[in-house]
Structure 1
Amino acid sequence: MANRSNNSASTQCEAFILNPSEYSLWDEMVSRSVHGTVFHYSWWLEASGCEFEILGYRDSEGRLQAGIPLPRRKRASLVLFHSPNLLTPYLGPIFALSPSMRENTKLSLMRNVGEKLARTIQGFDSFNYSLGPAAPDLQGFLWAGFQADLYYTFVIDSGTSPEEVLARMSDGHRTAIGNAERHGIRVETRDNLDPFLDLHRKTFHHQGLEMPYDESLIRRLFLAARDRGCAKIYLAKVPEGGYSAGLLVVSDARSSYQLAAGTDRTASGSGGGNLAEWRAIRDALESGRAYDFEGSALRGVERHFRYWGATPKPCWRLQNAGSLRGFLARCFVEWKSHSKAHF
């Protein structure tokens, strides 16, 4: 791993591990970078409860120019540089690109500095981060031996009007929204986390599953994001007074992300879930943000997102095996995943 930051050496181009006292510089770069997301901020990683470091890169004048968060954990003696949890869907490298840069200069920076960052990352058995649609060019990481696997999310681009979304969505979604409104369902936007957690829990229990993370994780992430004006809960309230569906949406300056959802199946058919999503989409577009459904490859979920008329956007899973044990473990996980998909 790279050395920790040494301010006296700031005139040298180098990869280095930021000291926690420098995280404010990192967060400023996340805000500036076109590749940065709410999930890259140091406060989000801290709220995730994971062990992490941030690998940075300085230019010749000592300015932070690029970097990548490195959350890690141990499992069965394996050191895993993986996304900390399912509620941190996007990570990966980011770069501070000036709008005045020529395209070839931007590519040179991302590829040359990206390769230096990638070759500095050491000490892992398995590396696996998902990068969202705003991800940078990854050729430098590929040169360093990493692999990038394609997947998709669905996004309604900023600048799209609600009228355009209505025209593009499926008849089924449009009908569900109309039915919900006729049945008197109203969407509340409040800091009301407990009813959302109840709906989210029910979604898993209806499928005979346990939640794949502790409720305290959702609570920490929501509170950290809410305190920075980056989180909102949408609840579909039925006329009888209960809630039929809910959404947790987090945002940065460029996009809103549909992070988690919940539904009460006893109120299924009400259209409350569609109505809550429609309100969240409109809020994002009216604030100048894109709306990212944080897509899924599950057929039913993918179809629901697609029917909003959203645009499929390519994303990448950046992976590498740092040891034979890590390679074998990754092969086993992929085999299990393919087996479940085909049988």
Structure 2
Amino acid sequence: MSEIQIRELGPAEYKLWDELVETSSCGTVFHTSDWLTLCRDTFSKDLKIYGCFQEDALVGGFPLFIRKMNGIFKVASSTCEMTPYGGIVIKDFPGASVRKQVQESHEILNQLRVFLSNMKLDSIEMKLSPDFKDIRPFTWNGWESGVFYAYYLNLEKDIDAGLSKDLKKNINKSAKEGLVVKKLKDSNLYYNLFSMVYTRQNLSSPVQKIFFDRVIELVERKNIGEMWIAETPEGERVAAQIRVWDKQRVYAWTASSDPSYRKSGANSLIYYNVISDLKVEGHKEINMLAANHSQFTDFITGFNPELVPHYLINYTSQRYKLLRVCRGLFKK
């Protein structure tokens, strides 16, 4: 393999990055420069995107949000608030044998791993997309790993045939009560419903309204998502969802509802109608995202989805490990 060079990308090179994300199977809408810079600006993050070049072609890379902790430790994460996936993206090798794919991809990944280790960061955490399947160049060299899950629903199958009895009952109940589902772009409404979920738990919202303002503007401008609401016959809006997508699938990015309507079946109706709408629009698959939260599993599995694993990889410096040990002792 030709010599590989890795360096930070300038804003003028973000188009190159987006082209790699678009063509790589492990790239997602959450890897795009539009999404990353939106998060950077909204949450006041320090964003860096690094590119891996081979003969002037971008063959891999990764974004990182970097911050100082306690004024001493430099920690980095591939994701931030409301961003489920991030981290490494590398080019695909279509048509290559398994051995050739492993050789080519591991050469890139090992170079990226060495570069990351040389950045002198105290902690690096990357939650990778489900299509990033081979983390061995990292785990073979001392990185820690963890397994998370997602639920995928095939929209090309008969959705109704896979529904559980309880889900069908709730869908029919809410429909008989006159609830309707429709598309609507309204960040004020979404934020109000989103905040209710946290207020009920005596918690503050993890994001401000401006974040939803900018996401809805982005998905409309780029045609990468839509917002739906569930409304009572009296015109009261009781539930909402925002779904985003890329070339591979839809992501059930965020859903909120008025807690006082928990027993109305509104959540079941809006999930079902949105999925049915996406199917009609020609989308082939939806990542329902809720598999890592036990309180949502029973509801989501009512749609008969497939459980899919994805990985987190983590590097920790010796002094940061010592800090964690000391904190653990202090808590005891």
Normalised TM-score (structure 2): 0.90
Distance 2:322 2:264 in 1: 47
Q: CA deviation at 1:240?
A: 0.7
**Is the 1:113–1:140 Cα contact (8 Å) retained in structure 2?**
no
In the other structure, the counterpart of 1:125 is: 122
In the other structure, the counterpart of 2:218 is: 224
Greater CA drift, 285-294 or 32-41? 285-294
Amino acid at match of 2:263: G
Distance 1:107 1:282 in 2: 39
Q: Equivalences for 1:60-99 in 2 at 5 Å? A: 61-77=55-71, 78-99=73-94
Q: Secondary structure at the match of 1:91?
A: coil
Q: CA deviation at 1:143?
A: 3.1
Q: Does 1:185 align with 2:179?
A: yes
**Is the 1:92–1:135 Cα contact (8 Å) retained in structure 2?**
no
Gap regions ≥5 residues in structure 1: 1-10
**Is the 1:92–1:129 Cα contact (8 Å) retained in structure 2?**
yes
Q: Secondary structure at the match of 1:249?
A: strand
Q: CA deviation at 1:175?
A: 1.2
Q: CA deviation at 1:177?
A: 1.2
In the other structure, the counterpart of 1:28 is: 19
Q: Equivalences for 1:117-156 in 2 at 5 Å? A: 117-121=112-116, 122-156=119-153
Q: CA distance change for structure 1 residues 35 and 332 in 2, over 3 Å: closer, same or farther?
A: farther
Normalised TM-score (structure 1): 0.87
In the other structure, the counterpart of 1:6 is: none
Q: CA deviation at 1:12?
A: 4.2
Q: Does 1:101 align with 2:100?
A: no
Amino acid at match of 2:151: F
Q: Deviations over 1:244-274 (max 9, x none)?
A: 1111111111111111111112222221111
In the other structure, the counterpart of 1:51 is: 46
Q: Secondary structure at the match of 1:240?
A: coil
Q: Secondary structure at the match of 2:63?
A: strand
Distance 1:331 1:148 in 2: 22
Q: CA deviation at 1:226?
A: 2.5
Distance 1:84 1:264 in 2: 28
**Is the 1:119–1:144 Cα contact (8 Å) retained in structure 2?**
no
Distance 1:327 1:177 in 2: 52
Amino acid at match of 1:153: A
Gap regions ≥5 residues in structure 2: none
Deviation >3 Å, runs of 4+: 283-286, 326-333
Q: CA deviation at 1:318?
A: 1.4
**Is the 2:151–2:307 Cα contact (8 Å) retained in structure 1?**
yes
Q: CA deviation at 1:54?
A: 1.5
Q: Select 2:5's aligned residue among 2, 8, 14.
A: 14
**Is the 2:185–2:216 Cα contact (8 Å) retained in structure 1?**
no
Q: Deviations over 1:128-168 (max 9, x none)?
A: 1212311241111223422220111111135x32x2x3222
